[in-house]
Each structure stands twice: as structure tokens, then as C-alpha cells.
């Protein structure tokens, strides 16, 4: 599903003529199988979010190779990446990243609109999905009219609406209280089990990491352990 080989990435800093590089990821290797939940943990600045941005094509590696769904995506163009993301990925963010001027229904429906799905079909799919995660009563609410947990459920529904192979989750419960966090994590586990969706989660929270099949640790830009196993799910 996801295969990363000898990935390197550095930030460029300084003015023209006086630029220097700051290594962020150093010779990272990673494999994620179909239907796995894999979490990546590490301190702030360790490179875990950078890795997620590389895997989703928002930044380009200095060297190394990224293969997703048996396709070498390392050097895709921006246009090719945009199409690939829409076809294969869903995203869940810590701060939800919902569009404030759109209702819950419209936020979830948006990826289908971008894919050019006919209106009737996308409305039917959106309605079914909102019902399946308990949000049909809130479909006409705007993000500021929803609780944090409800907003994250909308975010999860938006990630699911295109039926992606992989969902990237960046601190998916970072803005939630402990009770709501538990509900969201249960939803992620259920989706993984029932739909066989692969999840790659970035987190600093061991409660979140513990739902994963495997948890990997990044330290100083490196996968800091033999074969990548940091600790197993409970």
C-alpha cells in the first residue's frame, strides 16, 4: 500500500546566496500494508508531520522513493498529485479544516463536487454517509454551530466520501476532550474494520497511538528502532 525507501528531506533557510539546509528526515524507510492502522509518534519538530506532507505530495523529497498503490509517486507533477490525492486519499486534521461558509452537508459533499460526480448521486452518497455516522440531524448546521466532536465527525465523513484507500490523520483528536476522543477513536477503528481503510496517523498521544496495529517513532528525523516497531497496540 505505502512503501518509502531511503527518504531524505531538508528545509532551506536564509537569504539568497547565504542559504543553508536543516535536515528534517534522514534515510526514512516505511512500509504500510492494506487495511493497517499505523501511528507515527515523536516530539514536536521530529519530522512526523513533514513525513505526512511528503507522502501526500504537498512537499517534495530531496531524495528517496515513495510508492503508493504500486505507483511510484516520487516525482509526480502538482497536477498529477492533485488527481492522485482526490482518487486515493482522505484527510483528517486536528483543527478539522472545515469551510466555515458551508454547512456540514456541503463540507462532506465538496470532494464529490471536485470529482465531477453528478448532483443527485453526490447528494445521495452524502446523505447516507451522514446518517451512518450519526450526523443527519446536523447536516444543515455550519461548523460554528457544531461541537468539536461533531466537527471532527464531519471531517471524517468528508475524508470518507470518496471511498479512499488511505486516510492520513494529523493529530485527529488533538482538539477534543477525553470522552469525545474515545468516541472518535472508536469510529476510526470501526471504519478500519468494516471498510478495510488504511489509516496512517500522526500523534503525540499514546492513547491515540494505542489503537494502531503498529506504532513507529521518529526521533531526530529517523525511524528510531529496528524494523520500526515502537510499541504494540493494546
CATH class of 2-232: alpha beta
pLDDT digits (tens, 9 = 90+) for 37-87: 999 998 888 899 999 999 999 999 999 999 999 999 999 999 999 999 999
Check: CB of residue 170 under 8 Å from CB of residue 93: yes
d(CA 123, CA 167) in angstroms, rounded, equals 22
Domain ranges across the chain: 2-232
Residue 52 region, left (φ>0) first, then alpha (ψ -120 to 50), else beta? Answer: alpha
Question: Is the pLDDT score of 226 beyond 80?
Answer: no
Neighbours of 113 (CB within 10 A): 12
pTM equals 0.88
Supply the pLDDT for residue 229: 43
Amino acid at each position: 500500500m505505502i512503501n518509502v525507501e531511503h527518504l531524505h528531506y531538508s528545509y532551506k533557510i536564509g537569504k539568497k546566496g547565504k542559504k543553508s539546509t536543516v535536515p528534517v528526515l534522514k534515510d526514512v524507510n516505511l512500509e504500510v500494508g492494506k487495511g493497517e492502522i499505523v501511528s507515527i509518534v515523536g516530539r514536536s519538530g521530529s519530522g512526523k508531520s513533514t513525513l505526512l506532507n511528503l507522502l501526500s505530495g504537498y512537499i517534495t523529497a530531496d531524495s528517496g522513493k515513495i510508492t503508493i498503490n504500486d505507483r511510484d509517486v516520487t516525482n509526480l507533477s502538482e497536477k498529477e498529485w492533485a488527481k492522485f490525492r482526490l482518487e486515493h486519499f482522505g484527510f483528517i486534521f486536528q483543527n478539522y479544516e472545515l469551510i466555515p461558509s458551508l454547512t456540514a452537508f456541503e463540507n462532506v459533499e465538496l470532494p464529490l463536487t471536485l470529482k465531477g460526480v453528478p448532483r443527485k448521486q453526490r447528494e445521495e452518497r452524502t446523505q447516507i454517509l451522514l446518517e451512518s455516522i450519526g450526523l443527519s440531524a446536523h447536516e444543515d448546521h455550519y461548523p460554528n454551530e457544531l461541537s468539536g466532536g461533531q466537527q471532527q465527525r464531519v471531517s471524517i465523513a468528508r475524508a470518507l466520501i470518496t471511498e479512499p484507500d488511505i486516510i492520513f490523520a494529523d493529530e485527529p483528536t488533538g482538539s477534543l476532550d477525553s470522552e469525545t476522543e474515545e468516541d472518535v477513536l472508536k469510529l476510526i477503528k470501526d471504519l478500519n474494520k468494516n471498510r478495510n481503510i488504511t489509516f496512517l496517523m500522526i500523534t503525540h498521544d499514546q492513547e491515540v497511538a494505542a489503537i494502531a496495529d503498529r506504532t513507529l517513532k521518529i526521533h531526530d528525523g529517523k525511524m528510531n528502532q529496528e524494523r520500526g516497531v515502537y510499541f504494540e497496540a493494546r
